[in-house]
Amino acid sequence: MLFDEERPLKKPVSVWELTQVLANVVERRQELLRHRGEVAGGNYVWDNEKARLEYNGLGKTRRAIMSKLCSLKLD
């Protein structure tokens, strides 16, 4: 047997798939910016805590996708 039938082989993620996911993340972050306002001192105030947490989480996801894209393009 060449491979385990219970654990199928996973194909590597393509650059196109990563760019599609990245575009969706960027679009969602733009939507979440509606919940953010700037105050006089230059700080940001969020009207929804869940939106702030999701925005920050998507930023981490975006950084991870960008690093994967860079490593794929270098190979």
Give the helix ranges, DSSP H, for the chain.
Answer: 15-32, 49-74
pTM across the whole model: 0.79
Q: Are 41 and 35 in contact (CB under 8 A)?
A: no
pLDDT of 62 reads: 96
Are 69 and 18 a contacting pair, CB within 8 Å?
A: yes
Q: Residues 16-72: pLDDT tens digits?
A: 999 999 999 999 999 999 999 999 988 999 999 999 999 999 999 999 999 999 988
Q: What is the amino acid identity at position 49?
A: E
Looking at residue 25, its pLDDT comes to 96
pLDDT at residue number 3 = 54
pLDDT (0 to 100) of residue 4: 57
